[in-house]
Structure 1
Amino acid sequence: MPTPKKPTSPRTKSSSRKPLVYGAVTVVAAGLLGFASYRATAPDDTAPDTSSAPAAEVSADPNEGVYPELAKLARRDADDKLAVGRADAPVVLIEYADFKCGYCGKFARDTEPELIEQYVKDGTLRIEWRNFPIFGEESENAARGAWAAGQQNRFWEFHGAAYAEGAKEKGFGKDRVKALAEEAGVKDLDRFMKDLDGDAARAAVKKDQEQAYGIGATSTPSFLINGRPIAGAQPDETFRQAIEAAAEQAKATGSAGDEAGEPAK
C-alpha cells in the first residue's frame, strides 16, 4: 500500500499532526481512527476487499465509545454546501475523505446512498463532508474542486462524478477536475476555476485537513457519528448500528442540533 504523502505546506506540516485541545482522553480515544483503518487508504482497486474485515466495534450501550468533545465538531450549519440533511438532525455523521482513496469511493457508491435513503430522508441523519486530501497534489486539486463546486450548489453532483467507477484512474489534474465540474452541472466554469485556485478554497480544505489530523485520523475514510469514531470502509451494518444507537441516545436525552434545516430531497 503506498504511503500517504504528508502535506507540503510547512505550516500544515508543523501544526496539523498535533492533536487539537479537546482533552487528553478524548484525543487518545480518537486515535482509534488511525489504528483501525483496515487499509482504507488503499488507492488502487487491487487492494483486498474490506467488506469481510472485522467491523469497528459498536457497543449496544449508546454511550460506550462516544466522546462528547468530538460530537461538538458537527457544524450544523444550514448553509453548509458540503452537507446533506437537516441541520437539527439528531445524528450527524462527519466523513473525512480523499477523492483518490479507493475505499472512500466504495463507501460513496455502496453505503452512503443507502444511508441517505434510510436515515437522511426521514430526518434522522445529517452527513457533513470534510476534505482530507492525503495523496498529494491531485488530492488537493480534487478537494478544492469539490469545495468550488459546492459554491455553485453542485458539491454532491461533483462528489458522485469524482467517485464514479473508474474516475480516479483518470487522475485529478486541473483539466480533469474542470471536466468533472462540467459533468456535475456546474454552470459557471470560469468562476469554478477561479474558486479552485482561490485562497478561500485553500483555507477551507486546510481547515478540514487540520481538524482530521487533530483528532488522530491518519487514513481515509474516517468517520465520527455523534462523537463515535469509526474508521475504514466498514460493512453497512456497522454504520446502521452506530446511527441507530446515536438516534436512541439523542431521543433519550432530547438532544439535537440548535439550528433547524430543511429535510433532504
Structure 2
Amino acid sequence: MAQNQPEAGTVVSPSASASAAEPEPGAGESAAPQLSQLARRDPADTAAKGAVDAPLVIIEYADFRCAYCAVFTNEVLPTVLTDYVESGLVRIEWRDAPVLGATSPDAAIAAHAAGAQGLFWEYNAALFATSPTSKTNWDSEALLAIASSIPELDVKAFTDALDDPAHAQRVAREAQESTRIGVASTPTFVVGNTAVRGAQPLAVFREVIAQELAAVGH
C-alpha cells in the first residue's frame, strides 16, 4: 500500500465509483462484488456507530497519524453523526489502514483497547483533536495521556487491554483488507457503492450520501 495522502483541496467526483478500491474477482467470479458488500453490520463491532440496519453504511479507512483523517473527524464527522447517524439513515464503520509508520498500529490498538469499554469513538475523537501528522510518534506515554483525558475511561483496564492480542490481530487483519481492496491513501471512504478519497468538505459527503440513499429508496 502506498504510504501517501491526498493533497489538501483535492476533489473527488462523488458520482465516480472507485474501481481501484473494488476487490479483485476470485476464481469463478465474473465480476468484483459491489463496494457496499464490504460493510459488516456486526452489532458487536465497537468501532462502528449507528443502527445495524441503517439503509446506508459509510466505511472509513484511516490512520491515526493522518492529518487529513483528523480534518474529517474534527470538521465533517460531527455533522454526519448529527444529521445522518442519529436519524438512523447511516451507519459508520471504522477500518484500520495503518500506513504511515511504526506507531500507527500502536495507536489503532489503543483505540480498540478503549473500544473494549465502549469508548472507541471517544478515544478516536480525543486522539484526532490533537491534530496528529505523519510525524507524530504515538508512543505508550502519548497513548496513555489520550486515555487519561477521557473521563469515562478506566485507565487501568485500558492499560491491561493494550496487551490483548485480539486488538493487534484486528488491526493486522484490517491493514491486509485495506491493501487487498486497493486503498492507496488515507482517509478513503466507501459510501454505499461509491468511494470517496481524501478529507472532502461536508458538501461532497452530503451529495454522495443523498445519491446513495436514493439508490436504496430513501
TM-score (norm 1): 0.71
User: Any conservation in 2 of the 1:157–1:185 contact (CA below 8 Å)?
Assistant: no
1:45-83 alpha-carbon deviations (Å, 9 max, x no partner) = xxxx42xx3x21123xxxx62775321111111221111
Question: Which letter maps to 1:147?
Answer: H
Question: Which letter maps to 1:65?
Answer: S
Residue 57 (structure 1) aligns with: 13
Q: Give yes or no for the alignment of 1:129 onto 2:94.
A: yes
Residue 82 (structure 2) aligns with: 117
Q: In the aligned structure 1, how far is the partner of 2:148 from the partner of 2:119?
A: 10
1:80-110 alpha-carbon deviations (Å, 9 max, x no partner) = 1111111111110000001110000000000
Note the C-alpha offset of 1:137: 2.1
Q: Which of 95, 99, 108 is 2:60 aligned to? A: 95
Q: Which of 142, 150, 158 is 2:115 aligned to? A: 150
SS of the residue corresponding to residue 127 of structure 1 reads strand
Residue 150 (structure 2) aligns with: 184
Per the alignment, do residues 186 and 145 of structure 1 end up closer, same or farther by CA in structure 2, a change over 3 Å counting? farther
TM-score (norm 2): 0.85
User: Any conservation in 2 of the 1:152–1:186 contact (CA below 8 Å)?
Assistant: no
Question: Which letter maps to 2:199?
Answer: A
Identity among equivalent positions (%) equals: 34
Residue 207 (structure 2) aligns with: 241
Q: In the aligned structure 1, how far is the partner of 2:89 from the partner of 2:49?
A: 11
5+ residue gaps, structure 1: 5-33, 40-48, 253-265
5+ residue gaps, structure 2: 23-32
User: Any conservation in 1 of the 2:65–2:136 contact (CA below 8 Å)?
Assistant: no
Note the C-alpha offset of 1:139: 0.9
The total of aligned residue pairs comes to: 203
Per the alignment, do residues 186 and 204 of structure 1 end up closer, same or farther by CA in structure 2, a change over 3 Å counting? farther
